[in-house]
Amino acid sequence: MAGISARKLDKVYPGGVHAVDRLDLDIDDGEFFALLGPSGCGKTTLLRTIAGLEQATGGSVLIGGRDVTNVTPARRDVAMVFQDYALFPHMTVIDNISYPLRIKRQARVARHARATEIGVQLGLADLMDRRPAALSGGQQQRVALARAVACHPSLFLFDEPLSNLDARLRLEARTFLKRLQRELGVTTVFVTHDQAEALALADRIAVMEAGRIRQLGTPREVFGRPANTFVANFIGSTPMNLLDGVVRGSTVDVAGGSLPVPAGAEGLVTDGEKVIVGVRPEYVRLSRSGEGLAGEVSILEHLGTTTLVTVDCGDELVGATVPEEDEPEPGAAVRLAPVPGRLLLY
Ligand code: ADP
Ligand code: MG
């Protein structure tokens, strides 16, 4: 088993694109770690540089404390699963799964025994003689996972391995992957642009933008306390409220009303300062007490057991997620109260 570290890791492509920008990172042994960010932010490049498939242009990569910056991929003891699975089309499932063992010169009987064992674990027992073209997307994805597991790597590197599955299967595969990683305890780096996937799977998440990490934390931290408006915008299945405000002593004028400056932020802002007030719709309640921001219900969006209520507060639209039984009527006059402690200033 192994942790991973990057030290001032840099990757500039020949064309001049700075895909990974002097990045520092420490991933713990056994951790399920997500690299999350929009397309083009450098996730794949970082993963491939960890794997040794791309040569760093600066800095270093350490696996299990060993500097592997100039070590070939084969000697890094990592298994990678790609978005398109990269199965060998002319090989059967059992040969695909046991291929890494063949590379390691294991005898056919031994490697087929191992492949069968994993195949059974991953629900592929009846498919061992098929070729990839005769498998569904979900089955192909499991074969790719089985192949990754086959040679007991000390590191799993996953590049959006669920993105080619349809929505339902994707949720099942997510749970399956999490369970597998828990059982095996193998350090895992999981690349995704899907914030919900990262929140659901990871022990910790690095949110990336333009080759850099904008925030690193647990799902609870990046969701509950996004460090900047980039992360605030990127994380969450409903958009975070980011409202223009002006500090007035111990309160902040916002959305035609006034809210207390959050505890902890008092010393950091000055009277008259312009700020952005951030609060997730999930942390905004409909107030019964006559306090909070006044507005008129404009749009209702049904999310299942909750409803996203968009309230027109004059200059600003403010979202609040409410239980379906508390859903107001469109056009109703309401007041919105952020949950104390959930208001953030940027
Ligand atoms: P992500 O996986 O987050 O979508 P990538 O790591 O694929 O991002 O790409 C990061 C940046 O590097 C992008 O601007 C992309 O166009 C560029 N890039 C990726 N691969 C290459 C390459 N082989 N040559 C030149 N530029 C590349
Ligand atoms: Mg990518």
Q: Take residue 290 and report the two structure tokens written for it.
A: 């006559």
Write the pLDDT tens digit of every residue in 116-151: 998 988 889 999 999 999 999 889 989 998 999 888
User: Distance between CA atoms of 111 and 143, rounded to whole angstroms?
Assistant: 15
Write the pLDDT tens digit of every residue in 237-254: 999 999 999 999 999 999
User: Distance between CA atoms of 83 and 144, rounded to whole angstroms?
Assistant: 10
Write the pLDDT tens digit of every residue in 31-56: 999 999 999 999 999 999 999 999 99
Pocket flag, ligand 1, residue 44 (CB < 6 Å): yes
Lowest mean pLDDT of 153-157, 172-176, 223-227, name the range. 172-176
Q: What is the pLDDT of residue 267?
A: 82
User: Distance between CA atoms of 302 and 289, rounded to whole angstroms?
Assistant: 25
Write the pLDDT tens digit of every residue in 5-35: 999 999 999 999 999 999 999 999 999 999 9
Is residue 180 domain-shared with residue 303, that is, in the same domain? no
Of 185, 200, 230, at which residue does a domain stop?
230
DSSP labels, 196-232: HHHHHH-SEEEEEETTEEEEEE-HHHHHHS-SSHHHH
Is residue 205 domain-shared with residue 246, that is, in the same domain? no
Phi (first) and psi of residue 70, to 5 degrees: -115, 25
Q: Which residues contact 288 (CB under 8 A, 6 or more apart)?
A: none
Is residue 224 domain-shared with residue 256, that is, in the same domain? no
The structural domain count of the chain equals 2
In contact, 302 and 320? CB cutoff 8 Å:
no
**What ligand 1 atom has the least distance to the C-alpha of 46?**
6
Write the pLDDT tens digit of every residue in 53-108: 999 999 999 999 999 999 999 889 899 998 888 899 999 999 999 998 998 888 99
User: Which residue range forms the structural domain that includes residue 289?
Assistant: 241-345
Neighbouring C-beta atoms of residue 286, cutoff 10 Å? 19
Q: What is the pLDDT of residue 330?
A: 95
CATH of the domain at 307: 2.40.50.140
Q: Could you tell me the maximum CA-CA distance found in the chain, to the nearest angstrom?
A: 76
Of 230, 249, 283, at which residue does a domain stop?
230
Q: What is the pLDDT of residue 288?
A: 78
Shortest-distance ligand to the CA of residue 19:
1
Pocket flag, ligand 1, residue 241 (CB < 6 Å): no
DSSP single-letter state for residue 162: T
Is residue 297 domain-shared with residue 318, that is, in the same domain? yes
Pocket flag, ligand 1, residue 49 (CB < 6 Å): no
Ligand 2 centroid distance, CA of 67 (Å):
25
The reply to whether 197 falls in a domain is: yes
Is residue 226 domain-shared with residue 247, that is, in the same domain? no
Positive or negative torsion for Cα 187, 190, 196, 199 = positive
Nearest CA to ligand 1 atom 27: 13
Mean pLDDT of 165-194: 90
Write the pLDDT tens digit of every residue in 276-332: 999 999 999 998 788 899 999 999 999 999 999 999 998 899 999 999 999 999 999
The reply to whether 235 falls in a domain is: no
Is residue 204 domain-shared with residue 320, that is, in the same domain? no
Of 230, 249, 282, at which residue does a domain stop?
230
Q: What is the pLDDT of residue 265?
A: 84
Is residue 276 domain-shared with residue 131, that is, in the same domain? no
Ligand 2 centroid distance, CA of 35 (Å):
10
Pocket flag, ligand 1, residue 50 (CB < 6 Å): no
Q: What is the pLDDT of residue 121?
A: 84
Give the pLDDT band of residue 1 (cuts 50, 70, 90).
low
Is residue 222 domain-shared with residue 263, that is, in the same domain? no
Is residue 224 domain-shared with residue 254, that is, in the same domain? no
| Nearest by Cα to 220 from 205, 209, 242 | 205
Pocket flag, ligand 1, residue 43 (CB < 6 Å): yes
Q: Beta strand pairing status for 344-345 and 274-279?
A: antiparallel
Place of tokens 């933008």: 209
Shortest-distance ligand to the CA of residue 53:
1
Q: Take residue 271 and report the two structure tokens written for it.
A: 């009277």
In contact, 54 and 48? CB cutoff 8 Å:
yes
| Nearest by Cα to 92 from 120, 122, 133 | 133
CATH of the domain at 128: 3.40.50.300
Is residue 58 domain-shared with residue 135, that is, in the same domain? yes
Ligand 1 centroid distance, CA of 286 (Å):
44
Q: What is the pLDDT of residue 172?
A: 85
Is residue 9 domain-shared with residue 56, that is, in the same domain? yes
The reply to whether 236 falls in a domain is: no
Mean pLDDT of 183-189: 94
Is residue 138 domain-shared with residue 271, that is, in the same domain? no
Beta strands in the chain, from DSSP E residues, in sequence order: 4-12, 18-27, 32-36, 58-63, 66-67, 78-81, 155-159, 187-192, 204-209, 212-217, 241-248, 251-254, 257-260, 274-279, 284-286, 293-302, 306-313, 316-323, 333-338, 344-345
